[in-house]
Amino acid sequence: MTSVRVVVVGAGVIGFSTAVCIAEALPSCSVTLLSEKFSPDTTSDGAAGIMFAGEFPDIPLERQRLWFKDSFDHLLAIAQSQHAPEAGVMLSSGWQIFKEVPADKLPFWSEFVIGFRQMTDRELRRFPDHTFGQAFTTIKCECESYLPWLENRFVPAGGQVHQRKVDNLQELSNSYDIIVNCSGLGSKLLVGDSQVYPVRGQVLKVEAPWLQHFIRDGDGKTYIYPGIHGATIGGTRQEGDWRLEVDEGDTKSILERCSRLEPSISKAKVLSEWVGLRPSRRNLRLEREVVQLQGRQVPVVHNYGHGGWGVTLAWGTALDAMSLVRQCLREKPAQAKL
Ligand code: FAD
């Protein structure tokens, strides 16, 4: 039996997670991953990788909860296995603190992280500018390790990987039966999506081995995330800003804000500075459509626009995308040479 040729575009955390899910769950498919850039040069590589999410306004919360839960279960199993150091996945405990009590004291993911609770007054005393806080244990997934680890899982499952920039989907229509688009911000040009836009984020890596807990300001702009190789401190959220250069003003502001939360940061050595563009969209796009390409009807599954929560939601959304590919297999046998 000839296999169904599936191509996944994109080698960030969304592309590799999706490619692995398809290759492992759908043995009738031969899966090829094409991408212009690979680790360590994707947005995913520089993300702090902390499991934490905001809400997409028009996507049913139940679906978002499932994405979070599936992703958490997947990464927790890795964190508690012998693969943890190689995959760059670890448990991480700490605090999210607020200057004012938030409207929603129980985020939708609070039941999936470990030991979610309100901070005590005693715990809050070290953060004099803040009046409310949440303590919990979540997961940190460092993509500089995780992406190569996923690739090492993809290839034995029969996956093929090639470096290539794709200018339009027509280029792929003769060589593949199903296209899976995980190109993040690249979707703006690749599929002409004007709804996807960058939210610039600058972070620093610092050497501060004495820090054991994460601290995140509830406004999402200032955070300290201790990791396997140094702590990631940040940050910025600059909508519509395409600059990839490090901004010295941002560096100064990050160091000042983080030192206010954790004074010992002023003693930490700065190891590196990095800028990434979050592939943002009002609602992430996870759906399938049939596109007319070179006279053929080709199923296309989209999985992009995860904004600041891509590492968090990668596995859950990848499983969903895999289910959409499975539906394509069932519904379009004749047309797509299936
Ligand atoms: P990317 O990693 O950008 O990958 C896109 C891929 O598509 C690349 O390989 C690219 O080369 C390829 N591509 C694009 N166009 C084409 C084309 N035309 N042809 C071929 N290939 C193409 N998320 C969290 O969950 N937790 C965090 O703590 C967190 N912290 C962050 C901190 C910062 C400073 C930033 C910037 C982001 C952070 N994020 C975090 C968000 C996270 O990084 C993104 O949501 C995630 O990386 C998106 O993954 P992706 O695979 O869609 O995109």
Alpha-carbon distance of 217 to 132, in angstroms, equals 10
Residue 186 CA, closest ligand 1 atom number: 15
Where b means 16+ CB within 10 Å and e means fewer, 287-322 reads ebeeeebeeeebbbbbbbbbbbbbbbbbbbbbbbbb
Instruction: For residue 79, report the distance from its CA to the centre of ligand 1, in Å.
Output: 22
3-class secondary structure for 290-301?
Answer: EEEECCEEEEEE
Tracing tokens 């938030």 back to the chain, one arrives at 102
State the pLDDT at residue 104: 86
What does the block give as tokens for 183? 């190109």
Residue 10 CA, closest ligand 1 atom number: 7
What does the block give as tokens for 300? 């296309």
Alpha-carbon distance of 173 to 299, in angstroms, equals 10
Alpha-carbon distance of 22 to 3, in angstroms, equals 13
Neighbouring C-beta atoms of residue 46, cutoff 10 Å: 22
Instruction: For residue 331, report the distance from its CA to the centre of ligand 1, in Å.
Output: 31
Instruction: For residue 42, report the distance from its CA to the centre of ligand 1, in Å.
Output: 6
Alpha-carbon distance of 22 to 160, in angstroms, equals 12
Residue 202 CA, closest ligand 1 atom number: 34
Pocket of ligand 1 contains residue 213 by CB under 6 Å: no
Instruction: For residue 296, report the distance from its CA to the centre of ligand 1, in Å.
Output: 30
Pocket of ligand 1 contains residue 107 by CB under 6 Å: no
Percentages (nearest 5) of helix, strand, coil residues in the chain = 35, 30, 35
- Give the predicted TM-score (pTM) of the model: 0.96
Residue 241 burial (10 A CB sphere; 0-12, 13-18, 19+): middle
Pocket of ligand 1 contains residue 138 by CB under 6 Å: no
Pocket of ligand 1 contains residue 171 by CB under 6 Å: no
Pocket of ligand 1 contains residue 42 by CB under 6 Å: yes
State the pLDDT at residue 332: 62
What's phi and psi for 304, nearest 5 deg?
A: -155, 170
State the pLDDT at residue 130: 96
DSSP label of 248 = H
Instruction: For residue 253, report the distance from its CA to the centre of ligand 1, in Å.
Output: 24
Instruction: For residue 67, report the distance from its CA to the centre of ligand 1, in Å.
Output: 17
Chunked mean pLDDT (size 10), the chain, 338 residues? 91 98 97 98 96 96 98 98 97 97 93 97 95 97 98 97 97 95 98 98 97 95 94 97 98 97 96 98 97 93 98 98 96 55
Q: Which is it for the CA torsion 43, 146, 178, 299, positive or negative?
A: negative
State the pLDDT at residue 334: 45
Side-chain half-sphere CA neighbours of 335 within 13 A: 16
State the pLDDT at residue 331: 85
Instruction: For residue 228, report the distance from its CA to the centre of ligand 1, in Å.
Output: 20
Alpha-carbon distance of 338 to 6, in angstroms, equals 11
Pocket of ligand 1 contains residue 304 by CB under 6 Å: yes
Q: State the greatest distance between any 2 C-alpha atoms of the chain, in Å, as a whole number.
A: 68
